[in-house]
């Protein structure tokens, strides 16, 4: 079993698999996350793709809102984790 090259991107990959993207869009986003990991460009691409989905692609408005909130949560967790690497944790 090979190790995940970008473990921090794993949650976002699982998120992309749940969202009702087209098969081609899912494959493109997952490939982007697997090759580049979590970057501003890759997370921006996921956000842009999610925002571009029509409301009819979702079961209802609540599902659309939930996916938007879940993406926001994942991005904030990544930003906080990435930002905490700039501090010394010796205390």
The pTM for the full model equals: 0.85
Q: Is residue 34 part of a domain?
A: yes
Cα–Cα distance measured from residue 29 to residue 45, given in angstroms and rounded to the nearest whole number = 8
Question: Consecutive sets of 10 residues in the chain, 91 residues long: mean pLDDT of each?
Answer: 68 95 95 92 95 93 95 93 80 62
Neighbours of 87 (CB within 10 A): 7
Q: Which domain holds residue 29?
A: 7-76
Could you tell me how far CA 69 lies from the centroid of its own chain? 11
A 10 A CB-CB count for 61 gives 9
The pair phi, psi for residue 58, each rounded to 5°, is -100, 155
Neighbour tally for 43: CB within 10 Å:
19
Instruction: Specify if 53 maps to a domain.
Output: yes
Domain count, the chain: 1
């Amino acid at each position: 079993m090979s190790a995940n090259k970008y473990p921090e991107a794993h949650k976002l990959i699982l998120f992309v698999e749940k969202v009702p993207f087209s098969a081609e869009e899912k494959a493109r986003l997952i490939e982007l996350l697997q090759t580049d990991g979590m970057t501003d460009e890759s997370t921006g691409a996921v956000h842009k793709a999610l925002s571009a989905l029509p409301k009819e692609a979702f079961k209802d408005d609540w599902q659309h809102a939930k996916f938007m909130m879940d993406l926001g949560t994942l991005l904030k967790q990544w930003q906080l984790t990435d930002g905490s690497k700039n501090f010394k944790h010796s205390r």
